[in-house]
Amino acid sequence: MKIVCSRSDLQKAIAISMRAVPVHTTMPILECIMIVAESDGIHFISNDTELGIETVVPGSIVEKGRVAIQARMLSDMIRKLPDNEVIISVDESKMVKVVCERANFQLAGLGGEDFTYLPVVEKEDFISISQYTLKDVIQKTIFSIAVNENNRVLSGELFRVRGDEFQVVSLDGHRISIRNTALKEVYSEKKVIVPGKTLSEISKILGDDAEENVNIYFAANHIVFEMKDTTIVSRLIDGEFFRIENMLSSDYETKIRVGRRELLAAIDRSTLFVRENDKKPIIFNVTDGYMQLSIDSQIGSMQEEIDVDKEGKDIMIGFNPRFMMDALRAIEEETVTLYLVNPKAPCFIRNDTEDYIYIILPVNFIR
């Protein structure tokens, strides 16, 4: 095998491929990137058996072939080369030679007989959405997936398609994040649970161009994200996601409209008095015209008042400050609306069109 590519194109392809290279594994072949040079192009493939990525690299093929190269070594090597043309060649003994200007490296490659290629998935049932939109909804929901895998279903996000609506939902037992996005076409109903790790890596690969689309293919056990030069295949999480319809309610006793930035900044200031592992709630005391925020810990205390527009009853309620901040950071509107029932019931943050719904459980406190 012999290929010629620019260093920048190689570096980009390797960075994408590394997303599916495991940090710790007992199988050395999984630590490799498989380079396949065939008539249809130069392919870089990586697979940790849960997530697989294949990306096409611009360049010329002098001689067809394939080789598996230790991914981190290849990444470090290409990163340190001059920004010029790179020649990668492989001899019959799988010795890899990398040449760029006067730099000349040699390292042992593998034949890849044990390499796990991407599974073949039927590409029939799919939706098309802009890369920017998919990246946006992932980033604005992924913070509320469960960090441990005691309940594997909670370590992923629900992808649900109903007609021309695409819904993404995550929950960790203390909060729920929901994003509803309009699609340009009407599709058949679909419902799958995608691992959070997959979505975290995909969000780093997706572009910011609203004109560039990604096709999402749904299969029995896998989901495929297909972009212009990159295909990502992931296993799905088997199980039944929680019926969030039962958790949604339009009832409220108190409705609060408040400036998002002002509320976020005040909560952020309160966290100066909360250590990382502390579970000190921030208390909202809402009366006509203003809301008092307070927090009290062993380090110190804080009180601050901000103006609000309140409808309904006065209320005093406590929240995990980080959970509230995560939701506020995921909203772009300048004014947010909070719906409350009582100090024991969840807080709903949503807009009139329900493009987003964030639900946060309150925290008990003693005054």
CATH architecture of 126-241: Roll (3.10)
Tokens of 170: 């995550």
- The DSSP H or E segment spanning 99 is strand 95-100
Q: Provide CB contacts within 8 A for 150, sequence distance 6+.
A: none
The pLDDT assigned to 108 comes to: 94
Give yes or no for a contact between 87 and 16, defined as CB atoms under 8 angstroms apart.
no
pLDDT in tens, 206-240: 988 888 999 999 998 999 999 999 999 999 999 99
Q: Position 285: which residue type?
A: N
Tokens of 10: 């190689």
pLDDT in tens, 151-179: 889 999 999 999 999 999 999 989 999 99
* Burial classification of residue 39, based on how many CB atoms lie within 10 Å of its CB (0-12 exposed, 13-18 middle, 19 or more buried): exposed
Tokens of 65: 């072939």
Top-level class of domain 249-360: alpha beta
Give yes or no for a contact between 70 and 107, defined as CB atoms under 8 angstroms apart.
yes
Distance CA 194, CA 190 (A): 12
Q: pTM to 2 decimals? A: 0.92
CATH of 2-108, one of 1.10.150.120, 3.10.150.10, 3.40.50.2000, 1.20.120.450: 3.10.150.10
Residue 251: what are its φ and ψ, rounded to 5°? -75, 145
Which residue ranges make up each domain of the chain?
2-108, 126-241, 249-360
* Burial classification of residue 132, based on how many CB atoms lie within 10 Å of its CB (0-12 exposed, 13-18 middle, 19 or more buried): middle
pLDDT in tens, 34-85: 999 998 899 999 999 899 999 999 999 999 999 999 999 999 999 999 999 9
The pLDDT assigned to 85 comes to: 97
pLDDT in tens, 137-151: 999 999 999 987 678
Question: Euclidean distance between the first and final Cα of the chain, in Å?
Answer: 73
